[in-house]
């Protein structure tokens, strides 16, 4: 049976590590009794994140899923609804980075970037937004990137996908703004996370994942009369 609780139900994709895990921990610490649907492919890492969130007072559930697979997303949505009931907040954090010059980017690499970063967001949003629109209430946070607002040389496929995320977020906002659903696209710069491992950028020139996570909590806590359509977060010491 679904969990019956006045606390919100929050779905977080890409929750097994990095910024996604930090977002889960932030909501667990800041929103009393929050119900967290933690989604990613790595069930083992998800279980670790869920345990940490439970210690903070959250009610977590683990939902292993490849969010670029349509059938898998449909099954995951049904499982989340069965466990928790209606979803209040969706955090589309899942994504993947590939750095390669344009002329060295294969068609397979390009398709992989679009699938991991843009197709996945479309599939998961479509799965959960319908219920939010019916109830005329909900929040959708899409993880963009500074690579989606300014071209990032050496990562053309990733930039193309994240520009797509920015555009899709604007389209969703335009369609849902009169239907009670807020849509925000968050564009973080260099953040201490697995995506930047091996980049050569020292951690002191990057943002802590915990700081990025706090932005999501702050955006969620605004009154329903206000929406932040886009937000850009950059390290203080650089333009990355």
User: In Å, how far are 68, 117, 119, 135, 193 from 72, measured between CA atoms?
Assistant: 8, 16, 13, 24, 26
Residue 5: its pLDDT value, please?
A: 54
Which structure tokens are listed for 4? 């019956």
Average pLDDT, consecutive stretches of 10 residues, N- to C-terminus, the chain (240 residues): 72 97 98 98 97 98 98 98 98 94 96 97 98 97 95 92 98 97 96 72 84 97 96 86
Closest CA to 143 of 111, 191, 98, 179: 191
**Kind of pairing, strands 230-233 and 138-143?**
unpaired
Per the CB < 8 A criterion, the answer to whether 57 and 33 are in contact is yes
The tokens for 164 are 């797509």
End-to-end CA distance of the chain: 46
* Cα 122 off chain centre by: 12
Contact 209, 19 (CB under 8 A): yes
- Identify the pLDDT of residue 28: 98
Hey, which residues does 207 pair with through a beta bridge?
Answer: 191
How many angstroms separate the CA atoms of 50 and 47, rounded? 5
> Measured between alpha carbons, how far is 13 from 48 in angstroms, rounded to an integer?
15
Whether the Cβ atoms of residue 182 and residue 227 lie closer than 8 Å to each other: yes
Question: Tokens representing 23?
Answer: 């977002």
Where in the chain are the domains? Answer: 9-233
Q: Beta 89-92 vs 138-143: how paired, if at all? A: parallel
pLDDT tens, position by position, 33-70: 999 999 999 999 999 999 999 999 999 999 999 999 99
Q: For CA atoms 76, 113, 10, 128, give the dihedral sign.
A: negative
Topology given in CATH for the domain delimited by 9-233: Rossmann fold (3.40.50)
Per residue in 187-210, pLDDT (tens digit) is 999 888 777 666 667 677 889 999
Please give the Cα distance from 210 to 221 (Å, whole number): 17
Q: From residue 7, give the alpha-carbon distance in Å to each of 2, 37, 75, 88, 164.
A: 13, 13, 24, 9, 33
pLDDT value at position 204?
Answer: 79
């Amino acid at each position: 049976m679904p969990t019956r609780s006045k606390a919100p139900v929050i779905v977080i994709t890409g929750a097994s590590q990095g910024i996604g895990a930090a977002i889960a921990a932030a909501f667990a610490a800041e929103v009393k009794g929050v119900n967290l649907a933690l989604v990613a492919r790595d069930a083992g890492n998800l279980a670790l994140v869920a345990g940490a969130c439970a210690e903070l007072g959250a009610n977590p559930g683990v939902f292993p899923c490849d969010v670029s697979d349509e059938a898998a997303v449909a099954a995951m949505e049904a499982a989340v609804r069965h466990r928790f009931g209606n979803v209040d907040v969706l955090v589309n954090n899942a994504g993947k980075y590939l750095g390669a010059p344009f002329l060295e980017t294969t068609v397979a690499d390009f398709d992989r970037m679009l699938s991991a970063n843009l197709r996945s967001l479309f599939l998961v949003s479509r799965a959960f937004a319908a219920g939010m629109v019916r109830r005329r209430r909900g929040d959708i946070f899409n993880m963009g990137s500074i690579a989606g607002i300014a071209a990032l040389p050496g990562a053309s496929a990733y930039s193309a996908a994240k520009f797509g995320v920015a555009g899709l977020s604007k389209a969703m906002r335009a369609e849902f703004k009169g239907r009670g659903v807020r849509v925000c696209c968050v564009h973080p710069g260099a953040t201490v996370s697995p995506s930047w491992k091996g980049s050569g950028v020292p951690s002191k020139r990057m943002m802590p994942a915990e700081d990025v996570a706090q932005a999501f909590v702050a955006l969620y806590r605004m009154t329903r009369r206000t929406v932040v359509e886009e937000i850009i977060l950059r390290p203080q010491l650089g333009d990355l």
